[in-house]
Structure 1
């Protein structure tokens, strides 16, 4: 058995030689075995990336076997994933709800009243309120954005909240 010149494939020159030697045959193997078309090139590249990541563990004489095994496993995993996706696409989403028509009507009414109440707020209140409650920003961040003090932001938010409470008194607000 001849002694190997290199212990692993971590040197760029060795890796480049392996790429030139096996890239075409690996691509053809993936293309003809699985009919991947344009995906065959991607899978081939991923196999070489895996070889590079494991370069210290793979001897040049074992590189071909490593590449073909990794590429084959990647394709099989992808096919298995596609099977699962297809299985869940076949399951029809439920077309019913546990909500009563009265609840849905009340929800629509609330949404309309809420939008009207938001429209009745002053510009400063509306901006501060939406930044805080809808976008989830902290009072300090809002103060920096609006170039005002944090106390002013707090006042605008709480006054907006009070105005919304008074206009939406038929609904419970927390």
Structure 2
């Protein structure tokens, strides 16, 4: 039986992630793995794929622990799973109809609370559009098309260091120009 994580428990997990990352990560994994798997499986009933997706989400979380703070951990994890499943379905070249069905799938109520992603994404894209053309191109390839830095450098005939600089500049621009309460959402979107 799935049960919701209380707000106090989530705050304790976030504190543990900051103070004792290994123990905190283990607790987050134990607390959320089954719920995330069930959620992914409701969307895409392929056990192996869902397990892989959940594993990728947790690996991504672990890699981000040292340089990010996630305000709504449950929301972050469920949104990350939904995006990973969506990307998997997109990669399978599902039709627009299938993608529309996926977009209609509701997230657990608490995970969706205070996360107005449509407005957020509009705001982020508006700020991305303000970037210099080359910086915008590099950033879009890196963060939205998941192209490696080496491949971006090769495609655009620039150095990997220049790619890294453009990405860094774009993230600084977003951090400077988006409201403080949106910063954890930036991390969610930008480091997928």
Q: Same fold (TM over 0.5)?
A: no
Q: TM class by shorter-chain length?
A: 0.3 to 0.5
TM-score (norm 1): 0.42
Structure of higher CA gyration radius: 1
Higher relative helix content:
2
Greater RCO (Cα-Cα under 8 Å, separation 6 or more) = 2
TM-score (norm 2): 0.38
